Structure 1
Amino acid sequence: MTLKLLVGLGNPGPEYDATRHNAGFWWIDALAREHGAALVPEKGFFGNAAKLRIGGQQVWLLQPMTFMNRSGQSVAALARFYKIAPQEILVVHDELDLLPGQAKLKRGGGHAGHNGLKDIQTQLGSPDFWRLRLGIGHPGVKSEVVHWVLRKPPVAERDAIEAASERALQAVDELLTGQMEQAMRRIHGSKPDAPAARKQAPTAMQPGEG
């Protein structure tokens, strides 16, 4: 089994670029930069995409431009056109249940309330895709989650998220060749210290962002 489609989740627009919910976009951007690839708008796939070769293997990179809640529309469109099976897809997303600096790789499972994952699962008709979960931490209160994911993390937390992302970038060759156990060992790394709790003012949320 090899991966043929790498998807990063986020919300489109400069106002969201640096928010926690866009951690998946950050990862895809970093991978594209590393390989000199340019993501370009693909209207038929409702997102920005690039096709490149990594280690001799062809792979698609995709950032849905549909807003988070409709990510599945974009993923399913590309996957169906190129006959890519769910188990050949990796979705990179922000994860509340992991601390900044943590990352976890898994295949299948539920969506844990993440609306991007939920829509992808619905549109593909299967939960059997791979997920790279980039920790962003939890605000500690469920009612603040929506505002938390749409805020920019402090510099120290952003640095920790990017460190976890870098470990995952170093595992790309293993991911693409199906060496998932080796990739997991590289990605999971060590558990970081918990950041101090921070209270931030809520911001308004638009439909489809969460």
Structure 2
Amino acid sequence: MDENLWLVVGLGNPGPDYSGNRHNVGHMVLAQLADGLRANFKNHKTAASVAEGRSAPGGPKLVLAKPNTFMNVSGRPVAALLRFYSLEPSHLIVVHDDLDIPFDTLKLKVGGGHGGHNGLRDIIAATGTGDFIRVRMGIGRPPGRQPAADFVLHDFTSAERSVLPNILTDAADAIEYIASDGLTAAQQRFHAPS
């Protein structure tokens, strides 16, 4: 396995109808990261759109992947990408929305369960492990009695969209930092003080 190679998967749903949804923040982060790496997404045989790049000459190579499947069946493309690039799950970074974290908050962790997130649930089932790095993008809880499933499939509010670019940039920077300096260093740099 190439220790200088990382698979970064951004979770979301395919198609323009979902592009601005809270559930698609993983796709948004990867678009931001691809822009910074000057990398273009192309269809890959693993049922994903893939872009590859390095943030610095000789630095870690990042394979950015957006499964072309719906969120709840993300596992098959992720497992296929790990096999294609001969990577272990320890070199997998999954970017996803998280209801249990306030909006405008970024959390980085390794391992754990799926926490009710169906995309993570399917990846864990397909890869046989939860031992991969997660970039958890806080979207907050739904207001009032709105069901969580409806909340995640709605676009960010105009107030949220005004600060979203900064959050996406922070997440993209954190991913590059994880690949170059490790998870602990990234956590120290990107987690807000409690």
Q: Same fold (TM over 0.5)?
A: yes
Corresponding residue number in structure 2 for 1:45: 46
Distance in 2 (CA, whole Å) between partners of 1:142 and 1:84 is 42
Structure 1 residue 83, shift from structure 2 partner: 1.3
Q: Percent identity?
A: 40
- Whichever residue aligns with residue 174 of structure 2, its letter is A
- Deviations, residues 79-135 of structure 1 (Å, cap 9, x unaligned): 012211111000000000011100100000000110000000010011101000001
Q: Residues 178 and 106 of structure 1: is their aligned pair in 2 closer, same or farther, counting only changes over 3 Å?
A: same
CA distance in 1 between counterparts of 2:116 and 2:176 reads: 30
Equivalent residue runs for 1:108-147 within 5 Å:
108-140=111-143, 144-147=147-150
User: Partner of 2:68 in structure 1?
Assistant: 65
Cα RMSD after superposing both structures = 1.8
Q: TM-score, normalised by structure 2?
A: 0.91
Q: How many residues align?
A: 190
Structure 2 stretches of 5 or more lacking a match? none
Cα distance change on mapping 1:134 and 1:2 into 2, 3 Å = farther
Contact 1:2 1:88 in 2 (8 A): no
Residue type at the aligned position of 2:51:
A
* Unaligned residue ranges in structure 1 (runs of 5+): 192-210
1:1-38 CA deviation, whole Å, 9 max, x = no partner? Answer: 66610010000000000000000000000000111110
Q: Does 1:35 align with 2:40?
A: no
> Is residue 22 of structure 1 aligned with residue 31 of structure 2?
no
3-state SS of paired residue (1:131) = strand
Q: Deviations for 1:30-74, whole angstroms, at most 9, x for unmatched residues?
A: 0001111101111x2111001222332222100001100110111
2 CA distance for matches of 1:77 and 1:117? 15
Q: Which moved more, 1:114-123 or 1:182-191?
A: 182-191
